Amino acid sequence: MAGKYKVLQMSKGDLTKERQEAKLHAELMAKDGIPKLQVTPPNHLDPVAKQEYKRII
């Protein structure tokens, strides 16, 4: 099992510039790049799944 993900500033290993850029890009995508979920559940879900979707949102 892998350990917890460390943000770029807390990483202590000797990271290459390529890995540093990849980590930075992943952090930025986690903050802003992921689109928000729609408020209403998708039509293709069955009624139980729609209730669960509404519960989570």
Ordered per-residue pLDDT tens for the chain, 57 residues: 677 777 777 777 787 888 888 888 888 887 776 677 889 999 999 999 999 999 998
Q: Which pLDDT value is given to residue 49? A: 96
Is 20 within 8 Å of 8 (Cβ atoms)?
yes
Residue closest to 20 by CA, chosen among 31, 32, 29, 11: 11
| Local structure of residue 44 (DSSP, 8 states) | T
Q: What is the pTM of this model?
A: 0.43
